[in-house]
Amino acid sequence: MQITPRQRPVVLLHGWTMRGSIFDDLVARLPAEFDCHAPDLPGHGERALVEPSLEAAAQTLADVLEAQDLRDVVLVGWSMGAAVAWQFIEQFGADRIAGLMTVDMSPKLGCNADWPHGLIDQGEDDLNVTTARMIADWPGMTEAIATTMFARRDGAPGYSRQEALDQILTNDPARMIAMWEALVEMDRRELIGQLPCPLLASCGGRSRVYPKSAAEWLARTAPRGRMHVFEDSGHSPHLEEPEAFARTLVDFAHSL
């Protein structure tokens, strides 16, 4: 049976310290032809008590797809959500995935002389310092997390920096740090070169988290990769340029 546009499911995977409801505004902007799902991932939101890991998050996604028999899925992964998408493809394959849109993420966080595409100005020693700071002063660290989410200090048009901070503070610090450490240990560069589905690597042109070169590398390395830059956004283009993001997602879905 041929899949019609009205049957096209979209699954949206949120970033670290956030939850599925971060996509509510985006979902409201998408046409009725899309069947949208935005699950909370382990350690976050309704799954706050589930011990977080990339493997557990990939299993959550697998459970959502299986429970609702979702196929030809347009998968959207923002930041940590992209890491979860890559983990899912490694664990379960991409038979149910029509295409993947990643949003401001790198397959390896730590930078070195041969890999400048990780977190901006964060080599391995810097990441160790960041982790130690999280452990010593989580409330203080949350201020930095909320600020760097956006190109502008006050946040996005419909989601302020204060709202982001309030959301971050709802999380259990130990679980957030555990997931952070999993992200730091991740290296999905080999997978990207073998990615079995089309990839749209998007990024914020004014991101303070990842350099544009990360999306360029993803688009260049994936067998069916392409790139889109949201020029007026930081790390959260679905919040900072919501109309442009919705249009880009619709265009990507229609291209599959």
Report the pLDDT averaged over residues 209-213.
98
pLDDT, tens only, 213-226: 999 999 999 999 99
| Closest of 127, 58, 124, 123 to residue 93, by C-alpha | 58
- What is the pLDDT of the chain when averaged over all its residues? 96
pTM: 0.96
pLDDT at 4: 45
Task: Give the percent of the chain with pLDDT over 90.
Answer: 96
Residue 146 is part of a domain; what is its CATH number? 3.40.50.1820
Cβ neighbourhood burial of 121 (10 Å; 0-12, 13-18, 19+): exposed
Residue 87: give the domain boundaries. Answer: 5-255
Task: Give the percent of the chain with pLDDT over 70.
Answer: 98
Domain count, the chain: 1
Over 90: is that where the pLDDT of 5 sits?
no
pLDDT at 7: 77
Report the pLDDT averaged over residues 66-91.
97
pLDDT at 6: 52
Phi, psi of 226 (to 5 degrees): -145, 175
The Cα–Cα gap between 64 and 113 comes to: 40
pLDDT, tens only, 152-168: 999 999 999 999 999 99
pLDDT, tens only, 90-131: 999 999 999 999 999 999 999 999 999 999 999 989 999 999
pLDDT at 3: 46
Contacts of 71 (CB under 8 A, 6+ apart): 3, 9, 65, 96
pLDDT at 255: 97
